[in-house]
Amino acid sequence: MNEAVQGVTENPPQSAVAPQISVIVPTFNERDNVTTLYRRLEATFAGIAWEVVFVDDNSPDGTWDVVRSLARMDTRVRCIRRIGRRGLSGACIEGILAASAPYAAVIDADLQHDETQLPKMLALLQGGEFDLVVGSRYIEGGSADSFNKQRAGASQLATEVAKRVLQVKIADPMSGFFMIRRDRFEALAPQLSTQGFKILLDIVATARGQLRVKEIPFTFGTRLHGESKLDSMVALDFLGLVLAKLTHDVVSLRFLLFAMVGTIGLVVHLTTLFVAHEVLNVPFAEAQAAGALVAMTSNFVLNNFLTYRDQRLKGLAILRGLLLFYLVCGVGLVANVGVAFSVYDQEWNWWVAGAAGALMGVVWNYAMSGLFVWRKR
């Protein structure tokens, strides 16, 4: 038996008792934490019918294997192993939709959330006065003292932006610890983004004041094992989510991220065009083609790193993806150069012509990216 689950007592089947609460735990490389969390949940829910759904993004450390070992001993444990997609928000959405209880809680696997608050949260929802209960670090009695100075500042800034720009009324919209009525969640789910980390902010912003919310204080703990999964791209994910909600979801978070990359690509394109045409005296058509090729390469790299991070190509797949990207965008490149040369021939203004061609290429590249290069397998 897997050493990570040693000491866990096998429980008889619980199929005769319908769970009152489903706990959703998104995981990635949390092998050393999941058994400890399971034990804590078992102690917390003494006398309460419960289940836990671990949603694992195909962790290289085999987190999913540990969870399956737990599931073989306790039918209250379930594992969803996701292949070819990543992201905390998407994992939470899939987990809640797969849950069987009328109430669903989201808690991290890193043991920094206070699972002893879950029965209190459940009681508040069962009372019928609230639809959503949030574990808050920023109300009286709560604490985030375990944050370092940089993370504390980033969290507070993001909280203020969310509250002011999106008119979110709760004190801690960036919390990852909450419980919600599953029926209310299912009504909102089609409008939620599967990207990013801030699923609670997405829920509250999407509901636009239609959820009855209660915040309770909790102390954010210190991670015992592993490393934080938050990286430098979280800020852009957050910005994209805010912009998406400001447009009332007319445009998706992925499209906004793609547009950000496209803007960078336009700068790269025009810079290359300027250097080639104005400095090196390369004929315009060839200079425009060079600019398009360099911009296309930079867009592929940035989109693989950011926009399609949940479907990121790795290893040899990067080279194959780049070659495929060149291939499917070949038509776009021809159109790019053709449109640009036509405009240049009429206006004799290199940057207007270059921008017109680049815009033509962006439309084609976006369509082909989702269909062929980063398609879900």
Look-up: residue for tokens 């906004």? 256
What's the pLDDT tens digit per position in 184-209? 999 999 989 877 778 999 999 999 88
Average pLDDT over the chain, rounded to an integer: 85
288-305 CB burial, b ≥16 within 10 A, e <16:
bbbbbebbbebbbebbbe
How confident is residue 6, by pLDDT bands cut at 50, 70 and 90?
low
| pLDDT greater than 60 at residue 359 | yes
Look-up: residue for tokens 């102390």? 219
Quote the pLDDT of residue 124.
98
Task: For the beta carbon of residue 224, count every other beta carbon within 10 angstroms.
Answer: 11
Q: Quote the tokens at residue 168.
A: 């979110």
DSSP state of 189: G
Q: How far apart are CA 71 and CA 144, in angstroms?
A: 33
How confident is residue 61, by pLDDT bands cut at 50, 70 and 90?
very high
Looking at the chain, the number of H-run helices and the number of E-run strands are 13, 7
Distance of CA 229 to the CA centre of its chain: 11
| pLDDT greater than 80 at residue 243 | no
| pLDDT greater than 90 at residue 336 | no
Q: Which residue has the higher pLDDT, 368 or 112?
A: 112
| pTM of the shown model | 0.74
Q: Which residue has the higher pLDDT, 64 or 307?
A: 64
| pLDDT greater than 80 at residue 293 | yes
| pLDDT greater than 70 at residue 226 | no
Quote the pLDDT of residue 168.
85
Percent share of the chain, pLDDT over 70: 88
